[in-house]
Structure 1
Amino acid sequence: MPILKLEEYAIILLIIALLTIFLTRRIAVPYTLGLVIIGFILSMSGLLPDVRLIPDLVLLVFLPALLFEGAWSLRWDLVRSQWRVIFFLAGPGLLLSLVIAASVLHLLDGLDWGTAFLLAAILSPTDPVAVLSLFRQLHVDERLAVIIEGESLFNDGVAGSLYQTFLAVVLLSVHGGGSAGVAIWGRGLLLFALQAGGAIALGLASGWLISQTVRHIDEPLVETTMTLVTAYGVYLLADLLQLSAIVAVIVAALVVGNYGRSIGMSERTRMAVDNFWSVLAFLANALIFLLIGAQLNPLSLPSRSGGELASLLIALFAIGVVLLARLILVLFLGPYSLLASPIQRRERKERRQPSFPRSWQLIIFWSGLRGALSLALVLALPAEVPQRSILLISCYAVVFFTLLMQGMSLRWLLIRLPKMHQPDATSLPSAH
């Protein structure tokens, strides 16, 4: 695409995004959801420029910036206070929901195990932008916001690594004559361990090196540029080394955002870096959610020989599977949850006090929105992946339902549920 045409499209999209944001602020709707709706309407009417949410645009342009900004702004002390819940949701809980979703897809939808796990991994990453925007508008307790944001951030890393693992399993099965034996799954698991472990090591080393470097510099512009180079440099280096680029950027940003900023950045530099990444993330989110709305145009869905009814049934089934897996996951956060420490569980049992408010369970369940990363992953699937059209239809349906249906109803839910704004101080398990 010519540079001039690219600039024209970018300006048009930004103007549409700004007008949408002004409108949504007047009617108290998260701007991200407003952008999805406007993008969908303009795409259906043919008024939006012919631009698409291509995988490289998300994975190479938007994602490094969004990952770095999210990890940079996430305070480790707050994450540590809720680490049990976040670790469960993004670790064992994610694996649990993955197995549930893949099992249902395999048994009821007829997908082979490799493809079922691949689709489950694609649908695993959550997108908290609209949710956190609502939380800020309604002054929801900060601890709940930390849980939602922490889950999404670490979830992206785990889900991204699992996606690469199951895609490798599927492709090995295809090129191996369709026999996905123990050896293929063993190679897939080994690939996951190497990619995730290597990415963590790369992120830690890069974050530490940048943190030590900024100790000897007191220039906001230079240090801000170094964080930008870190975000994209670590991502590209991890991708070149065939490691999990998502995990590497998250780890590096956490180290720089917590360790580096405390030992090597002045207050003036911290404000400059915070402002830079806030603006960059805002622009990236504005463009990406507008493009998501355009991408959800039903006309862009792949055609199937079974017709529209078959596509509708596939879409409804995918939505049901995701909701079921999320519900079972959140039920483990129920009263007297094992996520509290033994002392806390004993004290709360004696006082007959739940370790996790039921209202928070419901919010965590309903706030599991899917967005750009899921779309980018499914669009990046090679053509030889079996039943690729089913994966596309399923992902489109889940993203559409979670962003528009769940996202638009979340405000109504937050306003009516108790313990949202002034929860009991002991309602969540603490690491201290």
Structure 2
Amino acid sequence: MSIVVVVRLLVLLLLIALTVILITRRLDVPYTLGLVVVGLGISLFVNTGPFHLTPDLVLFVFLPALLFEGSWSMSVRALRDNWLTIFLLAVPGLLLEAILIAVPLRFLTPLSWIDAFLLAAILSPTDPIAVLGLFRQLKVDAQLSTIIEGESLFNDGVAGVLYQVVLVFVLASIHHVQLTPFQMIGQGLLTLLQQAGGGIVVGILCGFLISRFVKYIDDPLIEITITIVTAYGVYLLADYLHMSGILAVIVAGLILGSYGQMHAMSERTREVVDSFWSVIAFVANALLFLLVGVQLDPLEFLQSAQLSLYLSIAGLAIAAVLVARYLLVLILPAHLPGMRLRSWRFLIFWSGLRGALSLALVLALPLELPSRAALLFATYAVVFFTLMVQGFSLRFILHRIPSLHN
């Protein structure tokens, strides 16, 4: 595809996105959900050949920017005040969700254990962009927003690591490599240590080194450029070293956004950098959700001879995701910050939307994986259900729970 065609497509997508955003604001609807609906309409009535949402586009173009902006703007004090709730949701909670999703998929569908856990890892990360936009619009309690945003930020990294661990066994199965139970455990732990531990170490080292470097510069344009290099450079470095780029960017962004801002940047620079990343995140989200809608093309599967099987797996996956999320929130200790109000528990449960990362992970599956089409359809179905049903119903719910508002 030539540069001219790419620029034309980008301008066209931005024009569509801006039109949808202006209309949804008039209708008082979250713009992200409006973009998904319009994208779905485009996929049904227009030849969407050049509009495909590829895994590389999400993982190497959109994701580093969105992760960096989220961690840069995240209040470390708010994270510290709610760290236990966020940790339980994002780490042991995500692993529990994955098990609760995988088990019924294994016993009630033809999926193998490996395929069931692979789909569970793909469906585990939450995407709260639409939720948080609605929260800010309706002035929902800031602590609840912090919990949901913090959980999403960290469970993206945990889900990415879990996906890589399961993918090791998937690739071994595809290439007919026989592993003993001890070899499987060892390989899984090694991948976990390399992905999670390595990503965190890379993020810490880069975050502190860049923060110290920025201290000797007082030029907003140069410092904005440094943050761009940080967002993409740290991600690419970690990926090159076969470590978690997601965790590396999150950690580096948190360090640069807290320690770096306070000790190395002037107030004028902080304001300029904040504005720049707000615009980048807004444009990236607009394009991403429009492309998510385009990617959810139901006509692709309607003519399949295995449509009934795909529908049964997708229906069970939707039910399993909802039940797993509900049970996770239900068993959280009552004394945790944000868990004292029953309405908060329900909102944390119902705000567990799935989005672009799940699509990127499933699209990145090896083409030779026999169950790839079924996993793809199930992921599309879960993403569409959570965005459309849960996303659109949130406004109605929020208006009827006064205790959620500041």
TM-score bracket relative to the smaller structure: over 0.9
Partner of residue 361, structure 2: 377
| Contact kept? 1:13, 1:287, Cα under 8 Å | yes
Partner of residue 154, structure 2: 154
Cα distance between partner residues in 1 of 2:244 and 2:165: 10
2:350 to 366, 370, 376: 366
Shift of 1:189: 2.3
Shift of 1:117: 1.1
Cα distance between partner residues in 2 of 1:27 and 1:74: 29
Partner of residue 144, structure 1: 144
Unaligned segments of structure 2, at least 5 residues:
none
| Contact kept? 1:126, 1:155, Cα under 8 Å | yes
| Contact kept? 1:35, 1:286, Cα under 8 Å | yes
Shift of 1:125: 1.0
What amino acid is aligned across from residue 149 of structure 1 in structure 2? E
Cα distance between partner residues in 2 of 1:356 and 1:93: 18
| Contact kept? 2:20, 2:31, Cα under 8 Å | yes
Shift of 1:178: 6.1
| Contact kept? 1:172, 1:184, Cα under 8 Å | no
Cα distance between partner residues in 1 of 2:51 and 2:339: 48
Cα distance between partner residues in 1 of 2:339 and 2:49: 51
What amino acid is aligned across from residue 364 of structure 2 in structure 1? A
| Contact kept? 1:102, 1:116, Cα under 8 Å | yes
Q: What root-mean-square deviation, in Å, do the aligned CA atoms of Structure 1 and Structure 2 show? A: 1.6
| Contact kept? 1:65, 1:232, Cα under 8 Å | yes
What amino acid is aligned across from residue 106 of structure 1 in structure 2? R
Which digits, 9 at most, give the CA deviation of each residue in 1:115-170, with x for residues without a partner?
21111110011111100010011110000000000000000010011111101111
Cα distance between partner residues in 2 of 1:358 and 1:235: 38
SS, match of residue 232 in structure 2: helix
Aligned ranges for residues 238-317 of structure 1 at < 5 Å?
Answer: 238-301=238-301, 304-306=304-306, 308-317=307-316
- Distance change (3 Å), C-alpha of 1:49 and 1:144: same
Count residues in correspondence: 406
Cα distance between partner residues in 2 of 1:110 and 1:319: 16
Shift of 1:179: 5.8
| Structure having the larger proportion of residues in helix | 2
Partner of residue 372, structure 2: 388
Partner of residue 98, structure 1: 98
Partner of residue 400, structure 1: 384
Cα distance between partner residues in 2 of 1:35 and 1:382: 29
Aligned ranges for residues 417-428 of structure 1 at < 5 Å?
Answer: 417-422=401-406
Cα distance between partner residues in 1 of 2:240 and 2:299: 35
- What TM-score, normalized to structure 2? 0.96
Partner of residue 330, structure 1: 329
Shift of 1:195: 1.4
| Contact kept? 2:194, 2:242, Cα under 8 Å | no
Partner of residue 213, structure 2: 213
- What TM-score, normalized to structure 1? 0.91
Shift of 1:180: 6.6
What amino acid is aligned across from residue 421 of structure 1 in structure 2? H
SS, match of residue 200 in structure 1: helix
Shift of 1:244: 0.5
| Contact kept? 1:125, 1:373, Cα under 8 Å | yes
Partner of residue 230, structure 1: 230
SS, match of residue 166 in structure 1: helix
Partner of residue 398, structure 2: 414
Shift of 1:408: 0.3
Partner of residue 132, structure 1: 132
- Distance change (3 Å), C-alpha of 1:359 and 1:10: same
SS, match of residue 419 in structure 1: helix
Partner of residue 51, structure 2: 51
| Contact kept? 2:101, 2:317, Cα under 8 Å | no
| Contact kept? 2:105, 2:313, Cα under 8 Å | no
